[in-house]
Chains A and B, each alone.
Chain A
């Protein structure tokens, strides 16, 4: 026996428990120790899918139409197979884009179309409001069932009171307050509502527990298990049993109906706004999907095991299937188990509450973002915007719940209400093609989505909603029987004459046909808008583009907006603290330039970030409108960079044009060594590819100024600019040289710094860029390009290209310099080689002349023995010796050394020899001969700047007198047999060719047979060893004394060998000539 107070207290306690759980979860969430962020709670919260329609309705359907109720649960179990791919992708995209609802998801994917968002929201409201009404009805009805039970203790007056007749109102109030408290705390919708989710998960436990309790009680306590129920059902109601345990519809197997329901259930578990809210928006970790994939179907399985037994038990107990919808409640009631009935009631209450809470929050977000905000924006309210939005959101929760309440009140207990679950599912299914396309079909565009969804929606309205209204008696019309305009072909439930499918399949078939074909057709016929393509890429490649970023921005803000301005904008929509948190998070990951600004190329990215952040509060379509409104308000707009590279390119690759320019430029650089030609051709290339109006090249002079080196102007008339400029005079040139980075302006009107003394009159141009030419760390010059008409032409890509060309140019300059240096060196080397060859050749000639001067063999003469040796060093020598025999008794021997080793020296020697020979036949003494020679050769020698040292001897073999004279020659060594030692012969005399009129002293000495006279050139005694010691006369005398007995030739050879040994491997620097005479017994001696 339950009293009213018990019931009220129980319900109040249960409601309070909701608030407590939600508040606790919220507190835990705020302190970072979430009790909600786990796969268990996630799985449970998804079962918000099981509403009171399924809680009570499953048994009702099982008792009236049989097993096909199972499709509503089987569908979701099957679609769970795809969750790891589809659901995870949806979640990934939603988190990346701050998606707030299913409408936001689709409108964001399809060009951020506000219209699409509004259409989806309208469909959702139309489809969901009756569904919410159904939940209210379930709570009201079950409350009434308990209270109206005869055993329920309540006074008739109270029973008739307003409050008592309207329990739905209190339920609606509870839901609204709860929804506002835990579903609309802040504007930022992308923040999860953990309190709300905790309450829903709790309700899921309660409804499963309550249903299982009733099922176990009915099956195992009222009856004797499954077997008992099925057997008794089979025997007591054989016809109904057959009908309920097999699939049939009007005597035909209802396979089409089954398939339709299966499909609708598959779609709705993903597409209903509350499912999207709980599964996607409230998901805290993608990994939770993994467990939810089997826990959710397992939950559905568990809650359905006892559906058929309860239905059969109800039929067996009550004798028929009237009131089967509430068997779950009435069976315990009627068998006297009030507490169990109360538990069942709370289970149904939970199922209804969870659904309405989630649905109202989700729908209110959609209404706010897609219906209200576009209106509010049009009203241009700027004051206290965040507060206004938050209140609007709270109001819409209230609005949604009470719309449902109003609906329930107006329409009441009709056909409509019974079938509204499936009608909702059918409405949600209209989003399926666009959603699948959104994830996997890049080409699917906004036009296709709008046409498809609208087309499907119209068919849905005409074939399902309208007939429902008519059948409910809400609209009186003979439309169902005669069709539109009396055309039977347009009968809503048998559209185009398609009979035998049933209302549901008929509607699903035609709506999907129009939906899918509209979507495909328009997507194929029409192209994406630019933003549509961007979004399409972002969505379809959600998994692949984690690391990828667009390489080039293709848009620019026509007027730069500062960071502060953006922050102020965000403050309006998400609040001050959140805005500052958001911007610092953004700036932490992005570069700020030297002036503390984000660069022009960063601005679009900052704009996108701002848009995304605001989207978290108001949805992406509204956020886009807000940011664009704002930009146009400050006179800025997103506009395309002038596409210098005409071809369409994927953002990751360089355009064909850029590659072409690179190729061409490298060809130019390699083709020529002429730097002026390179610059000219490069300028031609740039001006033909990019239509620059002025291209200049300035080089840095040693004094730091920039002098104009090249200029190519397409400007009409002569355009004069400074030939030489100091960098300090031009702000942008100076800046560029300091930073060594390109300085550019895409719109000269927005330049902050103008200087009159700039290199060029910037006012003439719309856009310009200075690119530094940097070689080896040092800037060499600057490449400047100007455009008169094209604003916004300098994209990051173009600047990169120009910078790279400037780098190539620097390299080319360097290479040309290096090449020139190398060539110069080569030429010098060649010349040297050539000179060497000439010298060598000359020397060869000189050598030959010289060698030909030397006597082939010493003369043979009685009384004296003569031997000679002449070894030339590497190059030509200046040594000369000769013998002249007169009267068969006198021998004149001369040894000389001409300074200089060239042809001139050799020729002088020839001359000397001729002059000498002319002197021989005279009986002049050696001194006279030398004096004559000196005076005869003087002029030639001094002209050739040559000198000759010479030693002249005259030996009379008869008298054995030796007369000698020296012209500054080395002193010969004479071995005296009588002394058994050596002496040197010396006489006064100067080198020939120094001055004329020199007197040469004649000296005479009487020789003895056996004496050896050694004449030599300085090459012999001046040969040095490795330490620089000269061989010297000492060593020569010593060796001569030692070996004087040996044959004359071998003495010379020995001496030569000794000298070579002495040098010890050091190359002989000078020629070595030796002439030796050994006195033999004279003719007279023999006669004696």
Chain B
């Protein structure tokens, strides 16, 4: 019951246009200086280069986020649902 409600309220937040914009900007920030600088080191983690891990890890995470976003869109009623958001 509780996880279900959590999931629903999470999906509800995702429906907000603002959330999309935030994630878009967050993505651009995370994949640019200075964040890149943190990981721009010649270090290997489990034999993988650190930057490689960061980029591919971040990339797959962003795809997951978009996937969740698209699940929150109810085609047909999306506009209405968005308008009704407080």
Chain A interfacial positions (CB closer than 8 Å to B): 67, 70, 74, 77-82, 84-85, 226-227, 230-231, 234, 242, 245-247, 253, 255, 258-259, 262, 287, 290-291, 293-294, 297-298, 301, 305, 308, 543
Smallest CB-CB separation from A66: which chain B residue?
A: B51
12 additional contacts, CB 8 Å, given A230-B49, A258-B33, A297-B62?
A70-B55, A77-B62, A78-B28, A81-B69, A227-B48, A234-B44, A245-B42, A247-B40, A255-B33, A294-B69, A294-B70, A543-B79
Query: Are the C-beta atoms of B79 and A253 separated by less than 8 Å?
Result: no
Query: Are the C-beta atoms of B63 and A298 separated by less than 8 Å?
Result: yes
Query: Are the C-beta atoms of A305 and B62 separated by less than 8 Å?
Result: no
Smallest CB-CB separation from B79: which chain A residue?
A: A543
Query: Are the C-beta atoms of B56 and A297 separated by less than 8 Å?
Result: no
The interface residues of chain A lying within 8 Å CB-to-CB of B23 are 81
Query: Are the C-beta atoms of B79 and A290 separated by less than 8 Å?
Result: no
The interface residues of chain B lying within 8 Å CB-to-CB of A253 are 33, 37, 40
Mark interface residues in B13-30 (1 if CB within 8 Å of A CB, else 0): 000010011011001100
**CB of B80 to closest CB in A, whole Å:** 12
The interface residues of chain A lying within 8 Å CB-to-CB of B63 are 77, 294, 297-298, 301
Q: Is the interface of B mostly helix, strand, loop or mixed?
A: helix
21 contacts between A and B (CB under 8 A): A67-B55, A74-B59, A77-B59, A84-B70, A226-B47, A226-B48, A227-B46, A230-B48, A234-B44, A242-B42, A247-B40, A255-B33, A255-B36, A255-B37, A258-B36, A259-B32, A262-B31, A293-B69, A294-B67, A294-B69, A301-B63
Within 8 Å by CB of B40, from A79, A230, A246, A305, lies A246
B66 at the interface (CB under 8 A from A): yes
**CB of A364 to closest CB in B, whole Å:** 33
B11 at the interface (CB under 8 A from A): no
Q: Total interface residues on B, using CB and 8 Å?
A: 37
Query: Are the C-beta atoms of B47 and A293 separated by less than 8 Å?
Result: no
Query: Are the C-beta atoms of A308 and B52 separated by less than 8 Å?
Result: yes
Within 8 Å by CB of B52, from A67, A82, A85, A297, lies A67
B9 at the interface (CB under 8 A from A): no
Query: Are the C-beta atoms of A74 and B66 separated by less than 8 Å?
Result: no
Query: Are the C-beta atoms of B48 and A294 separated by less than 8 Å?
Result: no
**CB of A942 to closest CB in B, whole Å:** 97
Within 8 Å by CB of B47, from A78, A227, A291, lies A227
Within 8 Å by CB of A74, from B17, B24, B41, B55, lies B55
**CB of B63 to closest CB in A, whole Å:** 5
The interface residues of chain B lying within 8 Å CB-to-CB of A231 are 47
Within 8 Å by CB of B51, from A67, A82, A294, lies A67
**CB of B42 to closest CB in A, whole Å:** 5
Query: Are the C-beta atoms of B41 and A246 separated by less than 8 Å?
Result: yes
Give the CA-CA distance A85 to B19 in the complex, in Å: 12
**CB of A69 to closest CB in B, whole Å:** 11
Give the CA-CA distance A77 to B66 in the complex, in Å: 9
Within 8 Å by CB of A290, from B37, B50, B70, lies B70
Query: Are the C-beta atoms of A81 and B27 separated by less than 8 Å?
Result: yes
The interface residues of chain B lying within 8 Å CB-to-CB of A226 are 47-48
The interface residues of chain B lying within 8 Å CB-to-CB of A301 are 56, 59-60, 63
Chain B interfacial positions (CB closer than 8 Å to A): 17, 20-21, 23-24, 27-28, 31-33, 36-37, 40-42, 44, 46-52, 55-56, 59-60, 62-63, 66-67, 69-70, 73, 75-76, 79
- List of 8 A-B pairs having minimum Cβ-Cβ separation, nearest first: A245-B49, A255-B33, A81-B24, A294-B67, A227-B47, A287-B75, A294-B66, A78-B27
Within 8 Å by CB of B36, from A77, A85, A247, A290, lies A247
Query: Are the C-beta atoms of A78 and B44 separated by less than 8 Å?
Result: no
With A78-B28, A78-B31 already in contact, the answer to whether A84 and B47 are too (CB < 8 A) is no
With A67-B52, A81-B24, A85-B20 already in contact, the answer to whether A246 and B70 are too (CB < 8 A) is no
The interface residues of chain B lying within 8 Å CB-to-CB of A70 are 55, 59
Give the CA-CA distance A285 to B56 in the complex, in Å: 31
Q: Is the interface of A mostly helix, strand, loop or mixed?
A: helix
Smallest CB-CB separation from A299: which chain B residue?
A: B63
Give the CA-CA distance A73 to B41 in the complex, in Å: 22
Query: Are the C-beta atoms of B32 and A84 separated by less than 8 Å?
Result: no
**CB of B61 to closest CB in A, whole Å:** 11
The interface residues of chain A lying within 8 Å CB-to-CB of B40 are 246-247, 253
Give the CA-CA distance A293 to B41 in the complex, in Å: 32
Give the CA-CA distance A308 to B62 in the complex, in Å: 20
**CB of A661 to closest CB in B, whole Å:** 37
Query: Are the C-beta atoms of A258 and B20 separated by less than 8 Å?
Result: no
Smallest CB-CB separation from B34: which chain A residue?
A: A255
**CB of B58 to closest CB in A, whole Å:** 9
**CB of B14 to closest CB in A, whole Å:** 11
Query: Are the C-beta atoms of B66 and A80 separated by less than 8 Å?
Result: yes
The interface residues of chain A lying within 8 Å CB-to-CB of B24 are 78-79, 81-82
The interface residues of chain B lying within 8 Å CB-to-CB of A74 are 31, 55, 59
Query: Are the C-beta atoms of B62 and A78 separated by less than 8 Å?
Result: yes
Give the CA-CA distance A80 to B28 in the complex, in Å: 12
Give the CA-CA distance A230 to B17 in the complex, in Å: 41
Query: Are the C-beta atoms of A305 and B70 separated by less than 8 Å?
Result: no
Query: Are the C-beta atoms of B59 and A293 separated by less than 8 Å?
Result: no
The interface residues of chain B lying within 8 Å CB-to-CB of A234 are 44
The interface residues of chain A lying within 8 Å CB-to-CB of B46 are 227
**CB of A116 to closest CB in B, whole Å:** 28
Within 8 Å by CB of B32, from A79, A227, A258, A543, lies A258
The interface residues of chain B lying within 8 Å CB-to-CB of A82 are 20-21, 24
Tell me which of B20, B42, B63, B76 has the highest count of chain A C-beta atoms within 10 A of its own C-beta.
B63
Give the CA-CA distance A82 to B20 in the complex, in Å: 7
**CB of A560 to closest CB in B, whole Å:** 39
Query: Are the C-beta atoms of A245 and B70 separated by less than 8 Å?
Result: no
**CB of B33 to closest CB in A, whole Å:** 4
Query: Are the C-beta atoms of B42 and A246 separated by less than 8 Å?
Result: yes
Query: Are the C-beta atoms of A255 and B44 separated by less than 8 Å?
Result: no
**CB of B79 to closest CB in A, whole Å:** 7
The interface residues of chain B lying within 8 Å CB-to-CB of A290 are 70, 73, 75
Give the CA-CA distance A293 to B24 in the complex, in Å: 13
The interface residues of chain A lying within 8 Å CB-to-CB of B73 are 84, 290
Within 8 Å by CB of A85, from B17, B49, B59, B70, lies B17
**CB of B16 to closest CB in A, whole Å:** 12
**CB of A71 to closest CB in B, whole Å:** 8
**CB of B68 to closest CB in A, whole Å:** 9
Give the CA-CA distance A252 to B74 in the complex, in Å: 47
The interface residues of chain B lying within 8 Å CB-to-CB of A287 are 75-76
Give the CA-CA distance A872 to B63 in the complex, in Å: 110
Smallest CB-CB separation from B65: which chain A residue?
A: A81
**CB of A380 to closest CB in B, whole Å:** 46
Give the CA-CA distance A242 to B52 in the complex, in Å: 12
Query: Are the C-beta atoms of B52 and A262 separated by less than 8 Å?
Result: no
Give the CA-CA distance A79 to B23 in the complex, in Å: 10
Give the CA-CA distance A305 to B51 in the complex, in Å: 14
